[in-house]
Structure 1
Amino acid sequence: MNDGTPLTGTPAADPDLLYSEDEDALRAAVRSLLADRGDPATVLAGLESDVAYDTGLWRALATEIGAAGLLVPEKLGGAGASAREAAVVLEEVGRSVAPVPYLTSAVIAVTALLGCDHAQEEVAAPLAALAGGRTVGVLAVPLPTAPGGLPEPAVRAGADGRLTGRVTSVADAAGAELLLAWAQGPDGPALYAVETSTDGVRTDSVTPLDLTRPLGHVIFDGAQGRLLATGDRARTTVEQALLTGAGLLASEQLGVAEWCLTETVRHTAERTQFGRPVGSFQALKHRMAALWLEVASARAAARHAADALATGSPDAPVAVAVAQAYCAPVAVRAAEECVQLHGGIGMTWEHPAHLFLKRAKSDEVALGSPGRHREALAGLVALGAP
């Protein structure tokens, strides 16, 4: 992982931005599942319930398709795939705004555990449970935390491993069974595992903008934690988890933008005014053509980030910063155009356009805002240095 020092040395190999046959097959399976069990009407109905996420849909995605273990090596109970395959899943999750904890559990929490010592039972057991979809895990840091911007721990750990503190705005905390707590231990920063059923753990739900990705404030009041990593290793593994999450979040943003563009083109081709499809009007053609170019560029940026993470490229921090700085605004713009070009129906609760706008706006500040990633990119490439 780069520490902010300008990247030097031999350039990384050219990224592979194309999808492989295996990735296309995975996409087809995930899209079919989400179309069957996570269509907009089902998502809207679920928002009016008190469940944290669609458990049946998550079970099918995580276990039947095996998506939860994509990032986990086979010897540790996973599929032995890479960030490229996980990115494909997240594209489809974004395309359907599926209320499942894939980003938080199967990507961020899994990556955090992979950075710890696999020989420890405290690491191997929860990693296998996450890979098998039997457990939902969450890294207990605020959702807006960006790679390279990890704050000082809000949680304190005693010598006996008991945790005290409060972490705000943790995504998917309400539905998690396992929390990975970034804490200040007796010997410096540390990462602890805590089951949410443990005495002294409480999650206070808050009402987020995006109801498909619930937020919660996590309170530790003397909860017993299991030590996973300490010192530099703990900090490095949490930073890598945030970097991977930010890089693959760009693929979710791409999926949001693609759905919005496709749905807008379909709607404007069917809706008529003055005896003509409104999509034939030149002003709307220009808007949709400009959006198509932005979505195509977002696809390249998201694929570059996924490929860099999959190959362990030294340029991964740069690729992630570029992807987030570009894809987040594109997703928001696509969702706004979708709402506006649908006219009155786009403003209603019954039409799913608002789900995509809310997911896009929520994703825009998740794991670092575009401005935060532009600042990081400037430092990584020594922009403006004498």
Structure 2
Amino acid sequence: MFFGFTEEEKMVQKSVRNMLEKHCQTEDVRKFMEEQTVSNKIKELFGNQGLLGILEPNGEEVTGVTYAILIAQEAGRALLPYPLLENVAGLYALKTCKQHGDLIEKVEAGNEMLTIAWRPESAEAFATEDGYSLSGKLCEVPFAADADQIIASVRISGKGNTPQEEETVVVISKDHPSVSLRKLPGTDETYPIYDVAINNYPLSNANIVKGIGMGTGHQLMNKVKQLGALLAASEMVGSSERALYDTVEYTKERKQFGVVIAKFQALKHMAAEMYLKVESAKSAVEYAAWALESGDPEAELSVSIAKSYASSAAKKVTGDAIQMQGGIGFTWENDMHLFFKRATRTAFLYGDSYTHNEKIAKAAIDAIAGASSAAK
């Protein structure tokens, strides 16, 4: 079985890397941290390159996953201050039904931007004469101020026997008068988050994605979160790989006691361990992408393994990168803290290591129990 990348996939990755090296330098990232506004140039570039609509639903399978992880990896390498994961996964959700064609075209062209409310909290809709009225809060919504539309999984009262069955994925216009935002403090300044308060937002069938209640929204949002977890893992691979190589280059220039510190045995061992973690995380992500795209029965488990390992590896690698650069690594002017903050933030999104380790352990225990039962 061949697990390498095709020439076309390599070409796409190289194209994205070249584009971001030109238009998303560290000074561009720091400029965003000051202004907290997504660059129109970045939106235009991703729209013109056709990179956002790379995922396509194909029954129970998803096509374009390999392309998506390569794009996410380059975004992580560049510390891209743009809701790439939310737009890619959000477009996938919209494509599961046929009534959002206009919005899909606008987002894919870079004319509108999506975000996803990963934590809907208390948002619930009730029936009215004209449809439904939605009220509640969406917590920690990334890039909400820049986004045009918010995708969220909310409860529609009476459309299921349990709160889970009532879940429905909807599209909410951020600029509607019933929607208000509150900026939240965050560790990673490249990823602004907002609480979104909603007061009697009018929902109609035009806002519904795929179907109302009966578990449809819950299943769809789980799939979107699964894709988000995999893309986040790939983004962390890119960030940690960049942190590793930049740090190795630094050790080749920095001298101590008249000797470049790259010759110190302790730093060689640290770099070797960092490299092992980066490459192992990369392999886990690539395998999970193959499993998800091919409809492998263990796709969900593979994504959990990739997210769990990449989360731990990225935090360790970026933390060690700061240590290897010594005192300068702790200063604001040094870029390593940006990679560390990005890794720390992403590690807790879409399920942290503990959450995914619990899924992995449950799968292992179930497998052992099944084998024991079969042996009897």
Matches for 1:16-165 after TM superposition, within 5 Å? 16-51=2-37, 53-60=38-45, 62-72=46-56, 82-107=64-89, 109-115=90-96, 117-118=97-98, 121=99, 123-142=100-119, 154-159=122-127, 160-165=131-136
Higher relative contact order (CA 8 A, sep 6+): 1
User: Structure 1 residue 344 and structure 2 residue 327: aligned?
Assistant: yes
Summarize deviations over 1:244-276 as a string: whole Å, max 9, x none. 110121110100110011011101111111222
For structure 1, which segment, 41-50 or 207-216, has the greater mean C-alpha deviation from structure 2 after superposition?
Answer: 41-50
Contact 1:173 1:216 in 2 (8 A): yes
Match of 2:239 in 1: 256
Q: Counterpart of 1:170 in structure 2: which amino acid?
A: V
Contact 2:44 2:109 in 1 (8 A): no
Match of 1:6 in 2: none
Secondary structure at 1:68's aligned position in 2? coil
User: Structure 1 residue 268 and structure 2 residue 251: aligned?
Assistant: yes
Unpaired runs of at least 5, structure 1:
1-13, 75-79, 143-150
| Residues 170 and 210 (structure 1), Cα distance of their counterparts in 2 relative to 1, 3 Å cut | same
Aligned equivalents of 1:248, 1:305: Cα separation in 2: 10
Aligned equivalents of 1:312, 1:139: Cα separation in 2: 25
Match of 2:200 in 1: 222
Contact 1:190 1:227 in 2 (8 A): yes
Summarize deviations over 1:57-116 as a string: whole Å, max 9, x none. 2321x2222111211479xxxxx9601001101000000111011011122x1222233x
Q: Counterpart of 1:45 in structure 2: which amino acid?
A: K
Match of 1:10 in 2: none
Aligned equivalents of 2:39, 2:320: Cα separation in 1: 28
Match of 1:178 in 2: 149
Contact 2:57 2:92 in 1 (8 A): no
For structure 1, which segment, 365-374 or 273-282, has the greater mean C-alpha deviation from structure 2 after superposition?
Answer: 273-282
Secondary structure at 2:81's aligned position in 1? coil
Q: Counterpart of 2:274 in structure 1: which amino acid?
A: L
Summarize deviations over 1:129-167 as a string: whole Å, max 9, x none. 22222221122222xxxxxxxx8x621112122210002
Summarize deviations over 1:170-192 as a string: whole Å, max 9, x none. 22222211112211113122122
Match of 2:271 in 1: 288
Secondary structure at 2:145's aligned position in 1? helix
Contact 1:69 1:132 in 2 (8 A): no
Contact 1:203 1:219 in 2 (8 A): yes
Contact 2:167 2:216 in 1 (8 A): no
Q: Counterpart of 1:269 in structure 2: which amino acid?
A: K
Secondary structure at 1:297's aligned position in 2? helix
Secondary structure at 1:290's aligned position in 2? helix
- 1:211 paired residue among 189, 198, 201: 189
Q: Say how many residue pairs are matched.
A: 351
Match of 1:77 in 2: none
Q: Once the 2 structures are TM-superposed, how far is the Cα of residue 46 of structure 1 from its aligned partner? A: 2.0
Summarize deviations over 1:276-305 as a string: whole Å, max 9, x none. 210111111111111111111111001111
Aligned equivalents of 1:238, 1:48: Cα separation in 2: 33
Q: TM-score w.r.t. structure 1 length?
A: 0.86
Secondary structure at 1:100's aligned position in 2? coil
Q: Counterpart of 2:52 in structure 1: which amino acid?
A: A
For structure 1, which segment, 257-266 or 305-314, has the greater mean C-alpha deviation from structure 2 after superposition?
Answer: 305-314
Aligned equivalents of 1:81, 1:182: Cα separation in 2: 23
Matches for 1:279-358 after TM superposition, within 5 Å? 279-358=262-341
Q: Counterpart of 1:213 in structure 2: which amino acid?
A: Y
Aligned equivalents of 1:245, 1:372: Cα separation in 2: 15
Aligned equivalents of 1:158, 1:326: Cα separation in 2: 41
Q: TM-score w.r.t. structure 2 length?
A: 0.89
Secondary structure at 1:135's aligned position in 2? coil
* Aligned-CA RMSD value: 1.9
Match of 1:148 in 2: none
Aligned equivalents of 1:193, 1:40: Cα separation in 2: 33
Structure 1: which 4+ aligned runs deviate by more than 4 Å? none
Summarize deviations over 1:325-371 as a string: whole Å, max 9, x none. 10001111111111111112211222211110000000110011101
Aligned equivalents of 1:295, 1:279: Cα separation in 2: 19
Q: Counterpart of 1:34 in structure 2: which amino acid?
A: L
| Residues 126 and 197 (structure 1), Cα distance of their counterparts in 2 relative to 1, 3 Å cut | same
Unpaired runs of at least 5, structure 2:
160-165
